[in-house]
Amino acid sequence: MQAPRFTWLLPLVLLASQGTRPRPSDAIRLNQLGFYPDAPKTAFIVGDAGETFDVLTADLRDTAFTGRLGPPPRTALSSDTTRVADFSPLRTPGRYVVLVPRLGASYPFAIGPRVHEELVRAALKAFYFQRASLALEPRYAGKWSRAAGHPDTQVLVHPSAASAGRPAGTVISSPGGWYDAGDYNKYIVNSGITVATLLSLYEDFPAYVRALRVDIPESGDAVPDLVQEALWNLRWMLTMQDPSDGGVYHKLTEPRFEGFVSPAEARSPRYVVQKSTAAALDFAAVMAQGARVLRPFERALPGLADSALTAAVWACCTTRSGSTSSSSPTSKPVPTATGTSGTNSSGPRRSLA
């Protein structure tokens, strides 16, 4: 490495030597977490930036890489001048900033072999914070601990979801699952693709996932944390299948979105509403994949793989027999005004299932 070569940089270096970091430039845009040593590494420079750039150590003392900015692309979609700073040849682990004359320095970033692992852990742990029917203990949730809410052991079958075996007003138990993005309801279609994504991560990178620990109540047992977290929602999904006909309720919801209250303070009645083809197909796909993933954990989870496979087959049969509505769960007059998360296009879901 060599010392920085720009005289205009001296004030920044002096500030850094005194423990004061200048404000990073918003005109230099890059992955602020960082890059793997052998992966492509680029920053995008917006505005008048000259022709060259440097990558410096985060303390601004040494230059690790010098390069030329790429040509500005021409596009009718934006009037901004944007150029690429490609520093892919830099592979030495460490913390760095990209420096562009007249624009300043970027936010600091890292180059390293496991540079995104903390993000992976945080993303997976986020599902724990979305768990319904569970008190989040300080041991696992820290400052985000909270009392349990929505036990969902007294859920009503809505008239739109009634069947011969479960007429309107029937009380069922449907605990667990994750809250949706911004409300306290639980949706088969939304959460189904999420469970499938988690299980696919396990199937594609089993060794990595087995080593991943995120400090949830189930951590340390024979089942990887990621699979355990997926199971919190998969087990809830199993409760959303009508045992009298195999159809799948589209969502579990209150009549209207709750106010801005904690889960433990929510008091609205809860319903399962109209079955849908979209829900049944997503359900079938997730359960079939779940059966495949869970089979090696039969000793720790006896019978669960078989239950998932049976549920998948039954849900598929309902979509073929026509016993499940193919319409959106709000296509009939129902006194609920929460998220639909539905679709009238079942083709992609049928292929998935």
Name the pLDDT band for 330 (thresholds 50, 70, 90): very low
Answer whether residue 319 shows pLDDT above 90: no
* Tokens, residue 250: 């589209």
Answer whether residue 260 shows pLDDT above 80: yes
Name the pLDDT band for 137 (thresholds 50, 70, 90): very high
Burial degree of 327 (CB within 10 A; 0-12, 13-18, 19+): middle
Q: Which string of DSSP letters, residue by residue, matches 13-71?
A: HHHHHTT-PPPPPTTEE--SSEE-TTS--EEEEES---SEEEEEETTS--EEEEEEPPP
Res 215: pLDDT: 97
Backbone torsions φ then ψ of 38, nearest 5 degrees: -95, 5
CA distance 219 to 228: 8
| CATH numbers and ranges of domains, the chain | 7-111 (2.60.40.10), 117-352 (1.50.10.10)
120 or 352, which is more confident?
120
**Closest by CA position to 155, among listed 177, 127, 131:** 177
Strands, sheet with 42-46, edge to edge from the N-terminal-most edge strand: 28-29, 42-46, 82-86
Res 284: pLDDT: 97
Per-state percent for the chain, helix, strand, coil, to nearest 5: 35, 15, 50
Res 327: pLDDT: 42
The model carries a pTM of 0.83
How confident is the prediction for the chain on average, in pLDDT? 88
* Secondary structure E strands in 232-285: 251-253, 271-272
Name the pLDDT band for 81 (thresholds 50, 70, 90): confident
Count of CB atoms within 10 A of residue 154's CB?
Answer: 11
pLDDT in tens, 142-169: 999 999 999 999 999 999 999 999 999 9
Name the pLDDT band for 326 (thresholds 50, 70, 90): very low
Answer whether residue 105 shows pLDDT above 60: yes
pLDDT in tens, 190-248: 999 999 999 999 999 999 999 999 999 999 999 999 999 999 999 999 999 999 999 99
Answer whether residue 320 shows pLDDT above 50: yes
Name the pLDDT band for 14 (thresholds 50, 70, 90): very low
